[in-house]
Amino acid sequence: MSINKIVKVVDLGFMPYAEALAKQDFFFNQIIDIKRANRNKELPDLTDNYLLWVEHPPVLTLGKSGKIEHLLLDEKMLQQKGIEFFKTNRGGDITFHGPGQLVVYPIFDLDNFFTDIHKYLRFLEEAVIKTLDEYGIHATPSAGETGVWLDVGTPFARKICAMGVRASRWVTMHGLAFNLNTDLSYFEYIVPCGIQGKGVTSLSKELGREINVETVKEKLLFHLKDLFEIEQYRIS
């Protein structure tokens, strides 16, 4: 089987959640259509891989396994605060996206890399962990809790990066939300990721300064390329 380890990087800028979801769906379905057609071809066509950067206006999203009671605002209060709300088909519970947060949506055909969704999630976590290490911050996964955490196993455990993905025919969508300069007060309106009694943090809060988002992107891309053995990035 032919494989393609080139990743097309698309920066969506500041975009409402629904528009970014439509972009994800377009690339996701494009790859799925090629894979379906390949079943009848002796020489299959290559499938593409995409990495979408985006920053959203304030929005709360609930994963397919999430509990609506983890949303602590009613519809009127959401409108008053200018926060959108969506139920999604990703894994995980409820989370917040908003200004100052780097949201990353890999639309990867894992047949181009490896067909192991748990390994995929661990590599996403590891890329964030390695990026944080460059800032002198020690982060780890937390057993049974997807994402990246600080001070796991202590009363001060707090999440700095949330994750939730969907995969079909080994094609991924959704991804990770990395708190950089995020206004953390929005997390008071939910039970983050459905986990009681644990906090959230951001890179700017941990370092006490504003974070250059483009620098974080460069570091994160470097570690994703290394972990996934990506041959090349193409910036769109």
Catalytic residues: 193
Amino acid type, 225:
K
d(CA 43, CA 60): 43
Write the DSSP symbol of residue 146.
Answer: E
d(CA 162, CA 149): 9
d(CA 88, CA 143): 24
Residues linked to residue 176 through DSSP beta bridges, in sequence order: 104, 163
Q: Which helix (H) or strand (E) holds 235?
A: strand 232-235
Q: Per-residue DSSP letters for 183-211?
A: -GGGGGGB-GGG-TT-EE--HHHHHTS--
